[in-house]
Amino acid sequence: MVRNSIPMKIGISAVIAVVVVCLAPWFDRGTFAEEVALSQSTIEQAFPTSSKCKRCHERVFEEWETSPLSRSIHSPAFRASLDAFLASPAGKDKAMCFRCHAPHVREFSNQVQLFINQAKAGDPSLDGVACAQCHLIKQVDRTKQPPEPKYELESKTVYGPYKDSVQNRAHQSIELGLFQKSDLCLNCHQSVTSAVGLGKANDLLGNWDQSKAVKSGKECQTCHMPEQVGESANGERKRKVANHTFPGRIGKLRQEAAKLDVKTKIEGENTTVMVKVQSLVPHNLPATHPAWASVVLDLDIKGKNLKTVFTDKRVYGRVYQDAKGQKTSFDFEAVKVLEDTVLKPEEMRIETFTFPTPKDTKTFDVEVTLNYAPITGTTPFLQRVEAESSKGSQDPVFQPVEIVKYAENVAISK
């Protein structure tokens, strides 16, 4: 009897310890570290981390992991701009950026500081836009501007595209048409609430719903989550599945962004290159958040010995002005659009370049490229981004990304 009571006692005190730790945040008795761990675990009970889904959805997980979505609160540019935002007058609304970059903050508004600390730490264990952040959305309220997601957190149910989902031990599944509709994406991609100063000008996609592609029945998923055949869950083979790498700036989709039609006319001393830029994108190109996003058309003329004899460019994007009348590359500071050259949905733009016909050569090369431009901003901001990146100045944000390229060798006939 006496011997038996010892383990008994340990048992009870263990139970008491657990109760105390669980109640700690309410009684304010736990250490700070315990509180943080607890609030994070409360968040993760409602929004299980993607690593919980990986076990059974390995393919989807690996695709998502390579996508920009998996780095929505990790990227050096995000962390540096978050700092700038929090230091600005608009930064009083601390949850702002997370409403799209880690949307579960909507359900945990009292935990904003945890989200901020995690993002700032650079290696957050908290998810940004991961599996649960999309698959627990039950409804998107389009009466709100931008539309707002409504989460279902009470049951262990995920929403998805299948009518005939196979049973499993982890969760129930409900088919929801929303998952094959643009509405699901619009709550984050339509317009940015932090750019309030801009009013209506803060629209990222333009008249996308009037485009030929959309009128012919295409949704965001058609292009950005292309259909393939594969495993939906480990062992569930030969299903129609959707690609979760979210091709955009990264991936093959960008080769379908635009067509370049180039005509060169030599008229004695002068040469004219006419470029028809046909956007095939059913929304603005580029989408103008972050505000430095721009696409650049570069012309490069190479004469004798492939030496560049002429260059010029056109920039497609938006230039914003802040309240002090300065140009700014932060939309949360913007009050006015100074210049708007974005390519509108499926727009065709004609650009003409005139330059002196190259000398001492029988031929010359015409090279035209369309690129996503690298990040721009003030020197301190760019230095901050560099410092936040483990790759420093080699971080991909500092490199242009080629969309399409045209090259031709032109003969000068005498």
Q: Identify residues 301-320 at the interface with ligand HEC (CB under 6 A).
A: none
Residue in 106, 138, 218, 259 binding ligand HEC, rule: CB under 6 A: 218
Q: Is 150 in the site for ligand HEC (CB under 6 A)?
A: no
DSSP codes, 206-257: -SGGGSHHHHTT--HHHHHS-EEEE-SSTT--SEEEE--S--SSSSGGGGGS
Residues 340-399 that bind ligand HEC (CB under 6 A): none
Measured from the CB atom, the residue of 215 and 263 that comes closer to ligand HEC is: 215
Q: Does position 64 bind ligand HEC by CB under 6 A?
A: yes
Neighbouring-strand partners of residue 149:
140
Please identify which residue in 115, 246, 316, 320 interacts with ligand HEC, judged by CB under 6 A: 246
Binders of ligand HEC among residues 329 to 348 (CB under 6 A) are: 332
With contacts defined by CB under 6 A, name the span among 16-24, 156-164, 344-352, 405-413 that binds ligand HEC.
156-164
CB 307 within 8 A of CB 300: no
Separation of alpha carbons 57 and 173, rounded Å: 14
Distance CA 117, CA 410 (A): 57
| Dist. CA 196–CA 331, nearest whole Å | 9
Residue 142, amino acid: R
* Residue 131 contacts ligand HEC per CB under 6 A: yes
Dihedral in degrees, nearest 10, Cα atoms 74, 75, 76, 78: -90
When binding is defined by CB under 6 A, the residue of 30, 43, 100, 262 that contacts ligand HEC is 100
Site for ligand HEC in 266-285 (CB under 6 A): 280-283, 285
What are the CA-CA distances from residue 292 to residues 6, 200, 413 (Å)? 67, 19, 43
By DSSP bridging, strand 334-340 and strand 327-328 are unpaired
Q: Which is nearer to ligand HEC, 94 or 336 (CB)?
A: 94
Q: Give the one residue of 126, 241, 301, 334 binding ligand HEC; rule: CB under 6 A.
A: 241
Q: Which of 111, 118, 202, 221 binds ligand HEC (CB under 6 A)?
A: 221
> Is 236 a residue that touches ligand HEC (CB under 6 A)?
yes
**Can you tell me which of 30, 50, 353, 366 binds ligand HEC, judged by CB under 6 A?**
50
Shortest Cβ distance from residue 178 to ligand HEC (Å)?
8
Query: E strands along 282-413, which residues?
Result: 294-302, 308-322, 327-328, 334-340, 348-356, 363-372, 401-411
The C-alpha atoms of residue 328 and residue 292 are separated, in whole angstroms, by 9
Find the part of the chain contacting ligand HEC (CB under 6 A) among 21-29, 105-113, 205-213, 260-268.
205-213
**Which distant-in-sequence residues (6+ apart) come within 8 Å of 307 by Cβ?**
none
Q: Does 162 bind ligand HEC (CB under 6 A)?
A: yes
| 297 scored as a contact of ligand HEC (CB under 6 A) | no
